[in-house]
A = this chain, B = another copy of it.
Amino acid sequence: MTGKKLGAQSAALAHPPSLAGWGNVAGKKEGEGPLAAAFDYIDADDTFGEVTWEKSESTMQKQALALALNRAGQSAAGLDWLFAGDLLNQCIGSSYAARGQQVPFFGLYGACSTMGEGLALAAMLLDGNFGERAGVVVSSHFCTAERQYRTPLEYGAQRAPTTQWTVTAAGAAILAREGPGPYLTHVTAGKVTDLGVTDTNNMGAAMAPAAHDTLMAHFRDTGRSPGDYDQIFIGDLGTLGSELLLELLRRDGVELTNHTDCGAIIFDLNKQDVHCGGSGCGCCAAVLTGHILEGLRAGRWRNILFCPTGALHSPVSAFQGESVPGICHAVAIAAER
């Protein structure tokens, strides 16, 4: 018995895989925020002991994966597949982290949606009887992202009020065909959606239409409604993008009252000077692999929907006058099968 495609974009897992282990590491600023207690390791100076920020990011992925494997009682060689991604050109954060690890590797590029993309693919492979265990690991680092997407840190460029702050964090999760849960029950894969936003300092606005599109597809494909979830976690539209998402849903007659934006809870928005909130692959991944999964295991929620969003542009596409396409992948996670 295996899963099946539901509607245009979703799938139901016949034998939902268990989240068997998870782990994360975070930077100094994240460690000063409200979710500090949910991080497994907080680095004192964001270097993670390395001499370049890119090497730091790779080390973060290695550490997060090792923590998740340890909690699952596995080694990397015990994984059938590893999915990984990050925001760096050619995804070097992931490739160098996986180098030499004895595990079949699938590199992903889904920008900040990558944790959702990886969980969706890993769950479908296991449910299709292709292996017993699969891992997903993603990362972002404030310093690698700033110099790649914007300006070198040393310039001290001023930030627009609509910007989000790229989170320094890596998160990893191990899925297993059998285990005590929580369980990944449904996936909805996103379409590349673009309503024409060209302001690269306003990623929340650019990604909100993708979140709207995927949420509507999820409800249509599965026959579920927002009320079927204790909480719907979006990652990461920030405060402005979240308002736009709620407005887009309202136009379709959907009121979202149980919604949390991962980017809005990882920092203290009043005190930490991050403008619209956190962003980056590592933001929602770190929130998932601490706050959310621990909450599910502790009985705080019984059913949640995790919906990471990504902006699929680059500095080159922006220079060429292009608007910013977005994508959002959703996975439903339940405490019980």
Contacts and interface: CB of A to CB of B under 8 A. Distances in A.
Interface of A: 2-5, 8-9, 11, 52, 54-55, 77, 80-81, 85, 87-92, 94-96, 98-111, 117, 120-121, 124-125, 127-132, 188-194, 312-317, 320, 322, 325, 327
B109 A108 contact: yes
Contacts of A100: 192-194
A135 to B, nearest CB: 13
A244 B137 CA distance: 32
Contacts of A108: 106-109
A89 B316 contact: yes
30 contacts: A4-B130, A5-B129, A5-B130, A8-B77, A11-B130, A54-B316, A85-B109, A88-B314, A89-B314, A89-B315, A90-B317, A92-B313, A92-B314, A95-B192, A95-B325, A96-B312, A96-B325, A99-B192, A99-B193, A99-B325, A100-B194, A105-B192, A105-B327, A106-B108, A106-B110, A107-B327, A124-B124, A124-B130, A127-B128, A128-B129
A98 B130 contact: no
Among A110, A191, A192, chain B packs the most CB atoms within 10 A around the CB of: A192
B312 A95 contact: yes
A128 B95 contact: no
Q: How many copies does the complex hold?
A: 2
A260 B128 CA distance: 33
Nearest to A10: B104
A192 B101 contact: yes
A89 B90 CA distance: 6
A195 to B, nearest CB: 10
Contact of A52 (B85, B99, B125, B320): B320
Contacts of A89: 89-90, 314-316
A129 B192 contact: no
Contacts of A3: 128-130
A30 B83 CA distance: 33
Contacts of A131: 5, 11
Can you list the 9 inter-chain pairs with the closest CB atoms, starting with the nearest? A128-B128, A104-B189, A95-B312, A90-B314, A89-B89, A109-B109, A5-B131, A107-B109, A98-B192
